[in-house]
Amino acid sequence: MTMNIKSTSNHKLFTYLLYISLSCFFTSLLNIIHTVYILKIEFTAASFLIPSTAGLLFGWMLAHIKVLSTKLSTMAYTDSLTHIYNRLHFAHFLDVEIDKVKRYGGTFSIIFFDLDHFKKVNDNFGHMVGDKVLEQITNIVSKANRSADIFARYGGEEFIILTPETDISGALIHAERLRNDIDKFEFKTVGHVTSSFGVTEFISEKDTLETLLDRADKALYLAKDLGRNRVEKA
């Protein structure tokens, strides 16, 4: 999925905070009604402020716990720099897709790519500039991916895409578009950056997660061996 995970989490958190605030407000109103009309207690500032303050404090505590829970959850399944899925969570999606195809048929492909000579970027311009390049790469690829595609940072300058319901020919077309988008992009400070791609299709009769990833990795290194800035299949 190429959606902005961080933005989605922030939207959910805002909705939760709004819900807590409204709950506290209506609790205060119900307290006033209960105090004045049912218990027949004279309404005073204290009878309103004390329970209202307690309700708001409790709501703030719940919201704070929710913020911490959301941050921990996000850290567990996303890459801290690019805010796309990390390698561990990508493996979960891949397991699910393999199980689906083996049960119900169909196919999918894997696009594995990394940046050519990226060490030179870090050595010549520094790691902060290198991190900025990785963020820009993420944006370029995310814009080109379909909403159904699962995009993750595999490690360092390596990225991987799961393309559901896509055979090898479709995945090759998509990979070539990504390669071209990266190749023609003018990166601030760095200038020109290229990338190499390895593409493979899942074969349900014989593939496992390990064999699929190994084949994609070999295709990537074939692209490296043949001169880089190209797409190869396996």
Q: Determine the Cα–Cα distance for residues 90 and 99; give it in Å rounded to an integer.
A: 14
| Cα distance between residue 153 and residue 137, in whole Å | 11
Question: Facing residues of 110 across strands?
Answer: 162, 200
Q: Which amino acid, residue 204? A: S
Q: Which two tokens stand for residue 191?
A: 């200038």
| CA-angle at 168, arms to 154 and 186, nearest 5° | 55
Considering 157, 176, 186, 201, which one is annotated as catalytic?
157
Are the CB atoms for 62 and 55 separated by under 8 Å? no
Q: Is 210 a catalytic residue?
A: no
Task: Report, as residue numbers or ranges, the catalytic residues.
Answer: 157
